[in-house]
Amino acid sequence: MHNRRAVGQEGEALAASYLKERGMRIVDRNVRCALGEIDLVGLDGDTIVFVEVRTRLSLVKGSAKESITAGKRRRLVRLAQWYLKGKRWENRSARFDVVAVTWIGEMPELDWIPNAFDAFGCR
């Protein structure tokens, strides 16, 4: 598995399964607009969860967690605002999670980081 898109899709599928096993309901995947893409949108109880999935096959460029820059966080916040407005969910609570998939060797390792960042720290 060396195609970048295929690696990303496999990482997102693993992340979605992992989150479902832990009780999250996945309500949307790969939501695209002019601002970019939201990998996964889930419901954890009444909370809308925007999930950024980062997949790495090596640590040469750093870990999957380290690859989420301040600019990426700001973009995710704008995407979430756009998504919530479109669904008329502006008044619902939301959070930003990260699932880091590190695939070195046979089995991938998943690291779920609930509340990885908030909208206020992204200005």
Domain of 96? 4-122
Could you give the CA distance from residue 89 to residue 32 in angstroms, rounded to a whole number?
18
Here the CATH number for the domain that contains residue 47 is 3.40.1350.10
pLDDT over threshold 50, residue 123: no
Predicted confidence at residue 55, as pLDDT, reads 87
**Contact assessment for residue 11 and residue 55, using Cβ atoms and an 8 Å cutoff:** yes
Residue 39 pLDDT level (bands cut at 50, 70, 90): very high
Residue 8 pLDDT level (bands cut at 50, 70, 90): confident
Please name every residue paired with 28 in a beta bridge, in sequence order, or none if there are none: 41
Least confident of 11-20, 45-54, 97-106: 97-106
- What is the 8-class DSSP label of residue 22? T
Q: What is this structure's pTM?
A: 0.89
Could you give the CA distance from residue 6 to residue 100 in angstroms, rounded to a whole number?
16
Predicted confidence at residue 64, as pLDDT, reads 65
**Contact assessment for residue 31 and residue 83, using Cβ atoms and an 8 Å cutoff:** yes
Q: What is the count of structural domains for the chain?
A: 1
Q: Percentage of the chain with pLDDT > 90?
A: 58
